[in-house]
């Protein structure tokens, strides 16, 4: 994946067509590849429609190749994030994550209940847009870390209780649990956005009891997933 991305990137950045004889100087040593090996990979890219041969001058990148490069770039960024998250999880440990989630459950159940009573139409539209963004990112195989945080932050503002808002922000700022639990839930197969939709449905219906129950269920699911993840890691 990395080699393919670098080849496509070199072709994109080149001011003129280039070939294996040029690329072997920039990428050959890094990846331990010969000119012949790079040449064969370029021919494969021709077949795939990512590059086009310009006579003896070399190759240029096609629009399809540019799209492929952008896809690989996103995948590599996600791979890097996942690697960092695994390191963070190993450092944080199960108990630290569970302590944060228990604190969040105590605060955010009240936030959800109040949001069902006080959320304006504007906040409901923002929450709906947040869920739509989460679905879009998931369709691209990207975990919606920031969108997860934004959904919960919008709920806290919609609840219109400054004490609860400051308390839950303090919990959020002293932890990285949004990143870690989103990653864990993806690994163990849970659907983050499904929970969010159930919370929002209860808020739209104006039911404090259902909103509170949906939030408790949401965080309980995260707690269960954290336990399952660490149990899997310890096997």
What pLDDT, on the 0 to 100 scale, is given for residue 164? 94
Contacts of residue 123, Cβ cutoff 8 Å, sequence gap at least 6: 115, 154, 157, 158
What pLDDT, on the 0 to 100 scale, is given for residue 198? 96
User: What digits encode the pLDDT tens for the residues 51-110?
Assistant: 998 888 889 989 999 998 888 888 777 666 555 545 554 555 788 888 888 989 999 999
Residue 234 DSSP symbol: T
DSSP bridge pairs for 18: 59
DSSP characters over 172-226: HHT--HHHHHHHHHHHHT--HHHHHHHHHHHHHTT-HHHHHHHHHHHHHHHHHHH
Return the CATH fold of 2-76: Arc Repressor Mutant, subunit A (1.10.10)
- Token pair of 42, please? 């370029």
Q: Comparing 2-76 with 93-233, is the CATH topology the same?
A: no
Domain 93-233: homologous superfamily in CATH: GntR ligand-binding domain-like (1.20.120.530)
User: What digits encode the pLDDT tens for the residues 96-149?
Assistant: 888 888 989 999 999 999 999 999 999 999 999 999 988 888 888 777 777 888
DSSP bridge pairs for 52: 60
Alpha carbons 22 and 26: distance in angstroms, whole number: 7
More confident residue, 93 or 24: 24
What are the residue boundaries of the structural domains of the chain, listed by start? Answer: 2-76, 93-233
């Amino acid at each position: 994946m990395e080699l393919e991305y670098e080849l496509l990137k070199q072709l994109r950045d080149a001011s003129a067509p280039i070939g294996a004889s040029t690329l072997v100087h920039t990428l050959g040593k890094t990846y331990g590849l010969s000119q012949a090996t790079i040449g064969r990979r370029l021919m494969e890219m021709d077949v795939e429609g990512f590059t086009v041969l310009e006579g003896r001058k070399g190759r240029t990148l096609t629009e399809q190749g540019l799209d492929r490069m952008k896809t690989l770039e996103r995948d590599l960024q996600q791979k890097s994030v996942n690697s960092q998250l695994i390191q963070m999880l190993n450092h944080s440990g199960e108990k630290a994550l569970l302590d944060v989630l228990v604190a969040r459950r105590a605060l955010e159940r009240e936030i959800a209940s109040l949001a069902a009573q006080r959320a304006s139409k504007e906040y409901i539209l923002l929450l709906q847009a947040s869920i739509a963004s989460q679905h879009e990112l998931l369709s691209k195989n990207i975990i919606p870390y920031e969108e997860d945080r934004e959904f919960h932050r919008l709920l806290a503002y919609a609840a219109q209780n400054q004490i609860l808002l400051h308390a839950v922000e303090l919990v959020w700022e002293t932890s990285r649990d949004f990143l870690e639990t989103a990653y864990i839930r993806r690994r163990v197969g849970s659907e983050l956005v499904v929970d969010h939709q159930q919370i929002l449905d209860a808020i739209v219906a104006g039911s404090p009891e259902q909103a509170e129950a949906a939030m408790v269920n949401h965080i309980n699911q995260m707690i269960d997933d954290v336990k399952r993840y660490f149990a899997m890691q310890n096997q």
